[in-house]
Amino acid sequence: MAKEKKLDANGYRKFGMLDKLTYAAGDFGCNMSFALKGTINTFWLVFMNMNSTLFATLLLIVQVWDAINDPLIGSLIDADKRNYKLGKFKTYIFIGSIGLLVAGSLCFIPLPNASTTIKCIIFLLGYVIWDAFYTVANVPYGAMLSLITTDGGERAELSTWRSIGSMIGNIVPMIILPMLIWKDKVDEAGNVIMNAETGEPEQELMGKTVFFVALLMGILGFIAFQFMIRKGEIRVNENAIKVNEQQQKFNVFKAFGNFLKNRAAVGATLAAMGMFLGMNSATTATQIMFAIYFGKAELSGLVTAIGFVPMMLFIPFIKKIVNKMGKKEASVAGTIVSLVGAGLMFLFPAVPKSAALIVYILAFVVFGLGMGVYTCVSWSLMADAIDYNEWKTGSREEGTVYSLHSFFRKLAQGVGPSLVIVIMGLLGYNSEIDINAQTAQTAENMCWLVAGLYLFSAVMQFVGIALVYNLDKKTLAQMNEELDARHARDEEMSDARKALYN
């Protein structure tokens, strides 16, 4: 006999573990593709030997388009009132997931001997196609959190499980990819070749392998998306905009202005930009630092993943922490710890190389420990910011608020790596020569650059959450209470109108 499904007062399946697993699976699917972004930079600089200034320019162009693309997709979703069998959000995600099956690999077509013009065309077309499908899947997925449940505690749990999906989707390729694509150079006798200047093993990037790994990751992402689409439950009307009956036509420019007035959304966005500057912009510099300073590029992902482990310590306790301290208050405490960890990271280039890796790992663990609470609740902060938009303006605009958040976040993801690549050039790194021909001074400069990036990241997170984000525990409770009362009045008026016409 089949087990009876438990329903809530509105006839939906009761919120539970399946909701958490499906939402986590969605971010796992997104990150099977997103996790490749850090490898893109290394692939084009080290394997394809593209001029660093030219590549930084191309990267900035596609990332600016990437950022512009998000609000366009978000406004399209908000304005789309058609009835889809899967629902409009799941339909967009399904279309995006099909494209991502192969789109990620288009960024890694291995033609290192092609002309500069052909390389530029391959990069631009591959990235634009990949980005289009990623945006179609990711924007509606992010906005879905506020449609799955209206309960603040359940949203925090969804945010936590999204972070779990994100961590797994990031950590698995983060650890495995460098091990698959980097190896020590050996001579004809099979002996490891040592770099005469740094004294470390010379490294080689196997760029052709990345293409096939990207295809495999696309398949894994597609499977995760299908699980979320088939098993996920949406409990809020996707087309419901909480405004009066004389609602004005949707205006993306007005929504943009509302976003900038939304302190909660702006603060959460600044913090996210800081997080991605640390996690994203430092990726290329970190891999190259490990290749030429430590001679262990294949371990770069594993060491970075160690920094994520402390974040997981908060997962079983996040609901209690949030209920007791508040999301903002707990996140601020964490950012202070991250500042300490980032400060300690400046010690590793100054100690003897025999101890440098240990000091780097310890500092990174402290940094990750501070990131723990914020990582678990970051998406819940944006869900609350969507509510804040409705509270202050009368309009929720889930897709638009989230996509504008994504707009600024992706500007950080684009401008940040581009600037880092330019800075690497100023610090002596030459992408047009073999990676093993870089000088010892360049290798040391990469260490200082990585430390500086993580410190800047921690500062931005502190400013965003502590100084700008304005939904502390007390204000959040007041907002939720007033919105609940407003929704109840709207429902009563709607019922009254229906009774009148009937």
DSSP string covering 57-101, please?
HHHHHHHHHHHHHHHHHHHHHHH-----SS-HHHHHHHHHHHHHH
What is residue 415's predicted lDDT score, i.e. its pLDDT?
79
**Residue 273 reports pLDDT greater than 80:** yes
What is residue 388's predicted lDDT score, i.e. its pLDDT?
85
CB atoms within 10 A of CB 97: 27
**Residue 245 reports pLDDT greater than 70:** no
**Residue 2 reports pLDDT greater than 60:** no
pLDDT band at 461 (very low <50, low <70, confident <90, very high): very high
**Residue 92 reports pLDDT greater than 50:** yes
**Residue 407 reports pLDDT greater than 60:** yes
pLDDT band at 10 (very low <50, low <70, confident <90, very high): low
Tokens of residue 286, six digits: 């970190």
**Residue 158 reports pLDDT greater than 80:** yes
CA pair distance 35, 23, nearest whole angstrom: 18
Question: What is the percent of the chain where pLDDT is above 90?
Answer: 19
**Residue 500 reports pLDDT greater than 70:** no
CA pair distance 131, 40, nearest whole angstrom: 13
Q: pLDDT digits over 18-64, tens only? A: 989 999 999 999 888 888 877 888 899 889 989 988 998 998 888 77
Average pLDDT over residues 458-484: 90
Average pLDDT over residues 478-498: 77
121-125, 141-145, 212-216, 244-248 — most confident range: 121-125
From 228, 222, 229, select the one nearest 91 (Cα to Cα): 229
Residue with tokens 């010892």: 440
Average pLDDT over residues 3-27: 79
List of residues 6+ apart from 152 with CB closer than 8 A:
380, 384, 476, 480
Residue with tokens 């209470």: 481
What is residue 248's predicted lDDT score, i.e. its pLDDT?
41
pLDDT band at 384 (very low <50, low <70, confident <90, very high): confident
Average pLDDT over residues 118-131: 92
CB 335 within 8 A of CB 458: yes
Q: pLDDT digits over 66-75, tens only? A: 767 777 777 7
Average pLDDT over residues 299-327: 79
pLDDT band at 86 (very low <50, low <70, confident <90, very high): confident
DSSP 432: T
CA pair distance 27, 168, nearest whole angstrom: 9
pLDDT band at 125 (very low <50, low <70, confident <90, very high): very high
What is residue 37's predicted lDDT score, i.e. its pLDDT?
78
**Residue 247 reports pLDDT greater than 70:** no
What is residue 114's predicted lDDT score, i.e. its pLDDT?
92
From 388, 385, 355, select the one nearest 482 (Cα to Cα): 388
What is residue 244's predicted lDDT score, i.e. its pLDDT?
27
Q: In terms of pLDDT, which residue wins out, 322 or 342? A: 342
pLDDT, mean over the chain: 82
Q: Per-residue b/e over 450-485, b at no fewer than 16 CB within 10 Å?
A: bbbbbbbbbbbbbbbbbebbebebebbeebbeebee
What is residue 246's predicted lDDT score, i.e. its pLDDT?
34
Q: In terms of pLDDT, which residue wins out, 86 or 125? A: 125
**Residue 328 reports pLDDT greater than 80:** yes
Q: pLDDT digits over 337-370, tens only? A: 999 999 999 998 888 888 888 999 999 889 988 8
